[in-house]
Amino acid sequence: MYKEIQKYCSDRNVSLVAVSKTKPIEDIQNLYDQGQRIFGENKVQEMEEKYYKLPKDISWHIIGHLQKNKVKYIASFVGMIHSVDSLELLQIIDKEAKKHNRIIPVLLQFHISKEDTKFGLQLSEAYGIMDDVSINPIENINIVGVMGMASFTDNINLIRSEFKLLKDIFTNLKNRYFSTQNSFSEISMGMSGDFKIAIEEGSTMVRVGSAIFGAR
């Protein structure tokens, strides 16, 4: 399935994050050998171990909830953090990035589904973060876009409406805070079951695991 999904995304100018959580080194190396360079993980320790064992030109993306006390373990190498959901987390990432003289690209994660188990901001909370950041600049972070997860359901209309909501949030933030910053350009949405709908609704980055690697 990898080749098809890879072509589907590249034909549409969408970045493909291959979600390799729980999968062994060999599976990742195999995809790497076919050209894949962006991998997504949701656990810091697992990502660290894989980082040390695999080629250094892989871009490792954290896609799951990130605890503040774990940022220090990945700040030297993480390629992107998709799951920023508080000002405190943003400030810690900034501090740790500074220690390594890096600028870490991050996405603000939004709660777009009706499910209450999922992490993420409301738009008003993002305003709070952005208003603070405008006064107290964070220099070692680049906020490059937004991320969200749709409901886990067969209801395509519901999924589509949630993706539309994330696109609206992106546009709103872009106009309000980033109108002069071209780097604010990413909408990370779409997983194995819904990435085609997500792309139709404006996704620029899909996070696909089981459709590439098989069931976990």
Ligand X SMILES: *Cc1c(COP(=O)(O)O)cnc(C)c1O
Piece of the chain touching ligand X by CB under 6 A; list 28-36, 85-93, 162-170, 191-199: 191-199
Does position 192 interact with ligand X (CB under 6 A)? The reply is yes
- Name the nearest CA neighbour of 202 among 40, 14, 17: 14
Does position 119 interact with ligand X (CB under 6 A)? The reply is no
Does position 111 interact with ligand X (CB under 6 A)? The reply is no
Among 5, 16, 191, 199, contact with ligand X (rule: CB under 6 A): 191
Query: Which residues ranging from 146 to 185 are in contact with ligand X (CB under 6 A)?
Result: 149
Residue nearest to ligand X (CB): 209
Q: Could you tell me if 188 and 83 are in contact, meaning their C-beta atoms sit under 8 angstroms apart?
A: no
Block residue for tokens 């980055």:
205
Q: What does the alpha-carbon distance between residue 183 and residue 185 come to, in Å, rounded to a whole number? A: 5
Q: What does the alpha-carbon distance between residue 213 and residue 209 come to, in Å, rounded to a whole number? A: 6
The nearest distance, CB 98 to ligand X, in angstroms, is: 27
Residues in the chain: 216
**Is the sign of the CA dihedral 216, 160, 113, 89 positive or negative?**
positive
Does position 63 interact with ligand X (CB under 6 A)? The reply is yes
Q: Which residues are near ligand X by CB under 6 A? A: 19, 21, 42, 63-64, 149, 191-193, 207-211
